[in-house]
Chain A
C-alpha cells in the first residue's frame, strides 16, 4: 500500500492523477509545487525511505526523450530512452538508483502524452527508432498504479517504425495480455541466476515466476527479450549462468525471442561510493572490484572472462545476430 501521495499543484486535476487517487483512497494526499521539493533535498536517506516509499505525481517538462548511449542498442537505426518513472518497487543491492538518488520515493510523470509528442518528432518513416523505457526504474512493476503500458500501446500500434522496449523484473503482464500483440513492443525481462537473485534482488519475483510470465507473453504472440545484465561474478558463476540459460532458453523457441543483451556490472564511481555508505555491511561492494576510469567494475580480465563465457553459452541457443553486448561507458 502506498501511504502518501505527493502531487504537484499544477497537475492536481489531471485525469491520470484522479484515476490514481481513486485507486488509492486510503493514501494521504500532500500538495507540493514541484516534485524536486520532496525528491531532491539533501537531508534524506535512500535506505530509510526504502522501508516505506511514497508516490510523487509530477509533470515532466524538459528532456522527455533522450539519446541512448552509443553502446546501447538492439539493432535499430536510432536509439532513445525515456523515464516516465524514477525509482523502483524492487530493491536490488547492485542497482545504481540507490547511488544516484537521495530519495527512494517513486516519482511518476503523468504526462505520458507529452512523451509521445516528443517521440513523434523523432520517428522517421522506414527507419527503426527505438524508445527504451525502464532506465530509471522498472517499466512494468508498478503498472497497476501507473497504467503506463496500457496508455502507451495505442500510439505504438499507430507508429510501426517506433519500437518500444519495456524493461522489467516483474510479472505484471496483464495490460499486455488484455490486448492483441504488437510486433514493435518488446518486453525485455532481466535475469541473474537464482543464487544472485536470492542474495541481491530483494522483493523481485523469483526467476521461475518471471520465466513463466515471459513464456506466457511469448505464447500470446508478444515479442520478448532477455537482458542478462548486469553479470555478477560469484563462485560457480559458470554453472549458475549455464543453468539460467538452460531454464530460460530451452523453454522458449529462438524465433520467439527478439534479442538478448548482456553486460558486466559497472557503476559510476560517485554512485558506488554512495552505495557503500548506505550499506557498509554489504559484502557485494567490499571485494573483487576496482576503479577503472570513472567506473567501478570487476578487473578487466575477470570481466572479459565472464562476458566471453556468457556469450559463448548464449550462442548455443541463439543466432549471433540476436545477441548484443552492452558495455556502459568507454574503456574496452
Chain B
C-alpha cells in the first residue's frame, strides 16, 4: 500500500485523481483512500506534517514497512519552476537533524538535498530544495517504515528569479500532475521490494489457524511464529503434520514442532 502526505489540497488533487481516491469521513485531517493508496492533507508546516503522517498510519491500520511519500512544492535557488527532485537528504533546519532516504531503485527524477524550515524563507541561500514539511514527515514515517521506503518528492514552485508567492491551485496541479504516473511506478517498485520483508504467507496462514484453535500466551505466540517460519523455510508448501497440530495444549504443540525441526539435518538452499 502507498501512503501519500501532502501539505495542501492543490498538491493532493492530481494524486487523488490518478489513484482514484475517495474522501473518507475523517475528523482532524482530510483523508482519501483507494484500492492501493492512502492520502492525507496535512496543512502547512512540519508539526502538521508529523501529526497527519501519524494520523494516516493509524487510519490505514498501523501498517509496518510500507511505502510512504511526501509530495509537494518547494523552493530552490536555481532550478526552474516545475522541475521535480527526490530528496537524498532531508535536514530540519531548526534542530540540525538530517535523514538520508536510501534510494535503492532507479528513480525517474534527479535527487537533491532538502531543507525544512519553520518560516517562509525567500533568501535562496541553501543549495538544495527548501520546504516546510518534509522533516516532520520523515521523523514520523521512519517510526513505522524503513528508510528505503520513505521518500520526499518535491516540484520547484519558486526560485531566485521567481521568488515565493503563493501559487494558485491550478498552477500547483499543473506542476504535479505530470509526475503522478512516474510516482506510481516508483512506489510500485518499492512495494515489490518491500514484499521481501513480509512474513511468508504460509507462516501467517498456519499461525492464524493454530492461534484461533487454541490459546497461546504471548511468549508462546512468539515461539510459534519462529518455529512456523523454520517449518515453512524447510517445507514451503506443507502444513505442519497432524500429530503436531493436534496436540492437546499449546505447550505440547510447540514442543512437538520443535522436536521435529531439531531432528532435521542442516539444509543447503
Contacts of B265 in A (CB 8 A): 233, 235, 287-288
A284-299 with Cβ < 8 A to chain B: 284-290, 298
Beyond the given A28-B88, A43-B146, A48-B197, please list 12 additional residue pairs across the A-B interface where CB-CB is below 8 A.
A3-B103, A38-B100, A45-B147, A45-B148, A51-B193, A196-B268, A200-B268, A284-B267, A285-B233, A286-B261, A287-B234, A287-B266
Contacts of A48 in B (CB 8 A): 102, 104, 146, 148-149, 193-194, 196-197
In the complex, A96 Cα to B19 Cα: how many Å?
Answer: 42
CB proximity of A76 to chain B, nearest CB, Å: 33
In the complex, A4 Cα to B269 Cα: how many Å?
Answer: 32
In the complex, A44 Cα to B142 Cα: how many Å?
Answer: 9
In the complex, A282 Cα to B25 Cα: how many Å?
Answer: 43
Contact with A along B116-152 (1 / 0, CB 8 A): 0000000000000000000000000011011111100
For chains A and B in complex, what number of residue pairs have CB atoms within 8 angstroms? 124
B88 and A284: CB pair below 8 A? no
B268 and A283: CB pair below 8 A? yes
> Is A47 an interface position by the 8 A CB rule?
yes
A-B complex: 8 closest residue pairs judged by Cβ atoms: A288-B266, A286-B233, A287-B264, A286-B230, A43-B142, A283-B267, A48-B148, A234-B268
Among B98, B145, B150, B196, point to the contact of A37 (Cβ < 8 A).
B98
Q: Which residue of B lies closest to A240 (CB)?
A: B268
Contacts of B105 in A (CB 8 A): 51-52
Q: Which residue of B lies closest to A290 (CB)?
A: B262
Known contacts A30-B89, A43-B147: A280-B269 contact under CB 8 Å? no
Could you write out 8 A-B pairs with CB less than 8 Å apart? A32-B98, A41-B142, A43-B150, A45-B146, A45-B147, A234-B266, A285-B233, A289-B266
> Is B70 an interface position by the 8 A CB rule?
no
Among A3, A31, A43, A232, point to the contact of B143 (Cβ < 8 A).
A43
A280 and B199: CB pair below 8 A? yes
Among A43, A105, A281, A287, point to the contact of B145 (Cβ < 8 A).
A43
Contacts of B245 in A (CB 8 A): none
In the complex, A49 Cα to B142 Cα: how many Å?
Answer: 15
B269 and A93: CB pair below 8 A? yes
Known contacts A47-B197, A290-B262, A298-B266: A41-B233 contact under CB 8 Å? no
In the complex, A290 Cα to B269 Cα: how many Å?
Answer: 18
Q: Which residue of A lies closest to B267 (CB)?
A: A283
Known contacts A48-B196, A195-B268, A288-B266: A30-B100 contact under CB 8 Å? yes
In the complex, A285 Cα to B143 Cα: how many Å?
Answer: 28
B103 and A45: CB pair below 8 A? no
Contacts of B100 in A (CB 8 A): 6, 30, 32, 37-38, 41
Contacts of A22 in B (CB 8 A): none
> Is B232 an interface position by the 8 A CB rule?
yes
> Is A114 an interface position by the 8 A CB rule?
no
A52 and B103: CB pair below 8 A? yes
> Is B250 an interface position by the 8 A CB rule?
no
> Is B159 an interface position by the 8 A CB rule?
no
> Is A275 an interface position by the 8 A CB rule?
no
B89 and A281: CB pair below 8 A? no
Contacts of A47 in B (CB 8 A): 196-197
Interface residues on B, range: 35 or more
> Is B229 an interface position by the 8 A CB rule?
yes
> Is A218 an interface position by the 8 A CB rule?
no
Contacts of A281 in B (CB 8 A): 200, 232-233, 236
B216-264 with Cβ < 8 A to chain A: 226, 229-234, 236, 261-262, 264
Q: Which residue of A lies closest to B112 (CB)?
A: A28
B232 and A52: CB pair below 8 A? no
Known contacts A51-B105, A280-B229: A45-B197 contact under CB 8 Å? yes
CB proximity of A292 to chain B, nearest CB, Å: 13
CB proximity of A112 to chain B, nearest CB, Å: 25
> Is B111 an interface position by the 8 A CB rule?
yes
CB proximity of B258 to chain A, nearest CB, Å: 11
CB proximity of B264 to chain A, nearest CB, Å: 4
In the complex, A52 Cα to B147 Cα: how many Å?
Answer: 13
> Is A276 an interface position by the 8 A CB rule?
yes
Contacts of B269 in A (CB 8 A): 93, 199-200, 282-284
In the complex, A276 Cα to B194 Cα: how many Å?
Answer: 17
CB proximity of B146 to chain A, nearest CB, Å: 4
B267 and A49: CB pair below 8 A? no
CB proximity of B127 to chain A, nearest CB, Å: 10
B161-210 with Cβ < 8 A to chain A: 193-194, 196-197, 199-200, 203
B233 and A51: CB pair below 8 A? no
Contacts of B234 in A (CB 8 A): 283, 286-287
Contact with B along A264-285 (1 / 0, CB 8 A): 0000000000001000111111
B148 and A284: CB pair below 8 A? no
| From A30, A38, A43, residue with most partner B Cβ within 10 Å | A43
> Is B113 an interface position by the 8 A CB rule?
yes
> Is A162 an interface position by the 8 A CB rule?
no
In the complex, A57 Cα to B244 Cα: how many Å?
Answer: 53
A44 and B261: CB pair below 8 A? no
A280 and B146: CB pair below 8 A? no
Contact with B along A80-123 (1 / 0, CB 8 A): 00000000000001000000000101000000000000000000
